[in-house]
Every structure is written in structure tokens, then in C-alpha cells.
Amino acid sequence: MLTLTSRKGTFQIEAVRDTTIVTLAKTHNIPWGYACERGICAQCRTRVVEGAECLNEVTEAEKLRLRKAERAEGYRLGCQIQVTAPGNITLVHSPY
């Protein structure tokens, strides 16, 4: 189960492997800021609350865009996050 919290509330949706969180949010009409979908604008900044082990590795784009301290606190980019394994995943949209 994938739980997404944005400014419009909390939504539970089915996780789809190898699909980005921004794409999943769009598919379900969940507001999740984005502009570039290439790891540059950070409008999709997301905090991983639960289920990091079910997600892909942090991408090079995220390493370039986010500070190491942010990444250590669980911040990633929604356009870079993909679900890779089943499990409970909880993400919060956390733009700057």
C-alpha cells in the first residue's frame, strides 16, 4: 500500500512498480508539485516516512539536487522515486 500525503490530504493507492511517484500522483489526481520531472526543480520534494526499502536507490539527479543532510533525513524527489518491492510506503510531499 502506498500512502501519499499532500496539501489536499492523505490518499492510499496501489503501488505500481517502476513508475514514479509524480506519475502515480498524476494518475490519481493527487496534487504533487512538479515541473521538470528530471530532478532539477525540486517542486516534487518528498519525505519518505516509511518503506524506503521498497523504493529504488537514490538517483544521481537527487544527489545533485538535494543536500546530503536532506537525504539523510529521508528527503527525495517524487519524480525520481520508484516503487521496486511490495510493502507499506508512506510519503509526504514536502516542497521548500
Judged by the rule CB under 6 A, the positions of this chain that interact with ligand FES are 22, 34-37, 39-44, 77-79
Q: For residues 35 and 43, is the Cβ–Cβ distance under 8 A?
A: yes
1 or 73: whose CB is closer to ligand FES? 73
Minimum distance, C-beta of residue 68 to ligand FES, in the bound complex (Å): 17
Least spacing, CB of residue 66 vs ligand FES, in Å: 10
Closer residue to ligand FES, CB minimum distance, 63 or 88 = 63
The residue (of 39 and 51) whose beta carbon lies closer to ligand FES is 39
* Among the listed residues 40, 73, 43, the one whose alpha carbon sits nearest the alpha carbon of residue 59: 40
What is the rounded CA–CA span in Å between residue 67 and residue 21?
20
CA distance 15 to 18: 9
Q: Alpha-carbon distance 46 to 43, whole Å?
A: 9
Name the minimum Å distance from CB 87 to ligand FES: 23
Residue closest to ligand FES when measured from CB atoms: 79
- Considering only the C-alpha atoms of the chain, give the largest distance between any 2 of them, rounded to a whole number of Å: 31
